[in-house]
Chain A
Amino acid sequence: MKNFGSSILNQKEIAIGYREMTISWPQSLEAPLPGQFLTVKVTENPAPLLRRPFALSGFDREKNTASLIYQLRGPATRLMATLEINSSIEVLSPLGNNFTLPEKDETPLLVAGGIGLGPVLYLARELDKNGFSPRLVVGGRTESFLPDLSNLKNGSIHYCSDDGSAGFRGTAVDYLKSLDWKELPSARLYSCGPQGMLNACHNLALEKNIPSEVSMEQMMACGVGACMGCAIEVIGPEQYARVCKEGPVFDSRRIKWT
């Protein structure tokens, strides 16, 4: 974990309202693992004040670059979109925990909705590189909200849109339900996206009796476990867990779904 000055190497729109930013990564710093996140100090001005957390969407050790996906949502992300190539930003990373890797004989099913694409995409790319055949399911309202992703070598990408304008008509979870599960004897589910989607993924994992991890989101201040601000409700001896420290990745059976 380190707070470092980073250069913006690239910024591009990947779908309407969604952008991917590539930044430089210190050679001496450990590589972030899929699921881990960074926080960006967006401005030196006192507003917007807080750093913004984003999951890593990719990492390249040879080039020492990392990428993140963000959605244009408020003043901070609009400001990020105006930052020019080669300008510098302050980044704190790697933060939080990471996804558990699948067993050798397991089929990784990865589900992304909206801004949840980042960590799931990084996991898909890593698994793909390491000989797994991840099935990445990306859901969105309509075609223009779906990113155009470069293909995976061993794995596959499945688009789903609510209006049927691209790929499967329906939600990402509808798509998963439509699969021939007899062909997936040992699947493992990973998901990140809107709360409703994560809850549906959890329910599906229970029904199919497969392991399932979710990457959770919560308003965050410190990002390092100090302020107790980003708590979510969990099942267990402790009522709350910090998304920034115990998470952001949780076994979906540990979350208290409401």
Chain B
Amino acid sequence: MDLTVKIRNKTLPNPVGVASGTFGYGEEYAQLTDLSALGALYTKALTVEPRPGNALPRLVETPAGMINSIGLANVGVERFLTEKIPYLETLTCPVILNVAGSTEEEYASVISRVDSQNAIWAYEVNISCPNVKHGGMAFGTDPVQVERLTKTLRKLTDKAIIMKLTPNVTDIALIAQAAEAGGADAISCINTVMGMVVDINSRKPAIPAISGGLSGPAIRPVGVAAVWRVSRVVTIPVIGLGGILTWEDAVQYLLAGADAIQIGTGNFVTPDASVKVLNGIISYMKEAGFQKIEDFHGHF
């Protein structure tokens, strides 16, 4: 059985990754799950300058989901290089750096400054954060800007570039096509869905940011549909995420056209969800007689 997933000129050992912002830099989960079994570890988003994050509280639970407004809290490039890279260098799984910014220059600057690091396997470019004013969603909702940003970043590195898309658009397929046209090596979809909770006692939004990003099983059907639509129109691999808790959820994504998946909020519920999901996928493949990940595709 071949579980590998080819992205650009390299292969992920298996299709199960852990999503950016839900797994820190891996160290936080090292005692709770086998990091060497991960298909990929997508780091917390990195911006050029450190960001303290948004006002409090940052979380509210919703039916089968949660809304977050973390605000890309991260240590910035300088401290990333001194404090985080040494640990990432010890990991055997592919480490994919999630990159965020508010201008094209900021994205470019992050990549230029970290590109020599061997610990970084690829970049996932966050053009979909709903929680900061210029957190990339301005890029992610405009196909022209997506293509231009992808082209700019493409010139800066030989590493794979994965564009992470927002579902908060009229047609995610158009955005995915723009990313491919710009030279992207893969598409991650989806980032969180914009959501809001109002506290009827205080008569105010539950979080000071007013709205935030909805994640968890509540958005899984939105993600599966996005993967289906995107995988129809691009030739590059599609990485599906949104509400995956179990292997059955992951298999839905793969059957809808995903080549790989990420577990996000599911890590909070089950710290070793990645291992369980991978084992479930393998059992499913055995039973179905699938030899490789592509065997999930083309059933409908």
Mark A residues whose CB is within 8 Å of B.
1-3, 41, 46-51, 92, 218-233, 238-240
Q: B residues 47-96 with Cβ under 8 Å of A?
A: 52-53, 56-61, 63-66, 68, 70, 73
Q: B residues 2-34 with Cβ under 8 Å of A?
A: 21-24, 28-29, 31-32
Q: Given A46-B245, A50-B61, A218-B57, is A227 in contact with B22 using a C-beta cutoff of 8 Å?
A: yes
**11 A–B pairs (Cβ distance < 8 Å), ordered by A:** A1-B32, A46-B218, A46-B245, A49-B66, A49-B216, A50-B61, A92-B271, A221-B66, A224-B29, A227-B68, A229-B59
Query: Which has the most chain B C-beta neighbours within 10 Å: A3, A51, A222, A226?
Result: A226
Q: Given A222-B28, A228-B44, 9 more contacts at CB 8 Å?
A: A46-B218, A47-B64, A51-B269, A218-B57, A221-B268, A222-B267, A227-B70, A229-B59, A231-B53
Q: CB of B130 within 8 A of chain A? A: no
Complex Cα–Cα for A224 and B245 (A): 18
Of the residues A47, A226, A233, contact of B24 by C-beta under 8 Å: A226
Of the residues B28, B57, B268, B270, contact of A219 by C-beta under 8 Å: B57
A residues less than 8 Å from B28 (CB atoms): 222, 224-226
* A233: nearest chain-B partner, CB-CB: B56
Task: Please name the 4 residue pairs, one residue from A and one from B, whose CB atoms are nearest each other, closest first.
Answer: A226-B24, A46-B217, A226-B28, A46-B64
- Across the interface, do A51 and B245 meet the contact criterion of CB distance under 8 Å? no
Q: CB of B231 within 8 A of chain A? A: no
A residues less than 8 Å from B245 (CB atoms): 46
Q: CB of B272 within 8 A of chain A? A: yes
- Across the interface, do A47 and B63 meet the contact criterion of CB distance under 8 Å? yes
B residues less than 8 Å from A232 (CB atoms): 56
Q: CB of B265 within 8 A of chain A? A: yes
Of the residues A92, A229, A239, contact of B70 by C-beta under 8 Å: A229
Of the residues B70, B267, B270, B271, contact of A228 by C-beta under 8 Å: B70
- Across the interface, do B272 and A3 meet the contact criterion of CB distance under 8 Å? yes
Complex Cα–Cα for A218 and B58 (A): 9
**How far, in Å, is B126 (CB) from chain A's closest CB?**
15
Complex Cα–Cα for A2 and B52 (A): 29
Complex Cα–Cα for A3 and B57 (A): 26
- Across the interface, do A231 and B58 meet the contact criterion of CB distance under 8 Å? yes
Complex Cα–Cα for A218 and B23 (A): 19
Query: Which has the most chain A C-beta neighbours within 10 Å: B29, B31, B269, B272?
Result: B269
Complex Cα–Cα for A48 and B21 (A): 21
Range of interface residues on chain B? 35 or more
- Across the interface, do B268 and A222 meet the contact criterion of CB distance under 8 Å? yes
- Across the interface, do B29 and A226 meet the contact criterion of CB distance under 8 Å? yes
A residues less than 8 Å from B73 (CB atoms): 228, 231, 240
**How far, in Å, is B28 (CB) from chain A's closest CB?**
4
B residues less than 8 Å from A2 (CB atoms): 31-32
* A52: nearest chain-B partner, CB-CB: B61
* A232: nearest chain-B partner, CB-CB: B56
- Across the interface, do A222 and B56 meet the contact criterion of CB distance under 8 Å? no
- Across the interface, do A1 and B21 meet the contact criterion of CB distance under 8 Å? no
Chain B window 206-221, contacts with chain A (Cβ cutoff 8 Å), 1 for yes, 0 for no: 0000000000111000
B residues less than 8 Å from A240 (CB atoms): 52-53, 56, 73
A residues less than 8 Å from B68 (CB atoms): 221, 227, 229
* A90: nearest chain-B partner, CB-CB: B270
- Across the interface, do B32 and A92 meet the contact criterion of CB distance under 8 Å? yes
A residues less than 8 Å from B21 (CB atoms): 227-228
Q: Given A49-B66, A49-B216, A227-B68, is A41 in contact with B58 using a C-beta cutoff of 8 Å?
A: no
Of the residues A224, A231, A233, contact of B271 by C-beta under 8 Å: A224
A residues less than 8 Å from B272 (CB atoms): 3
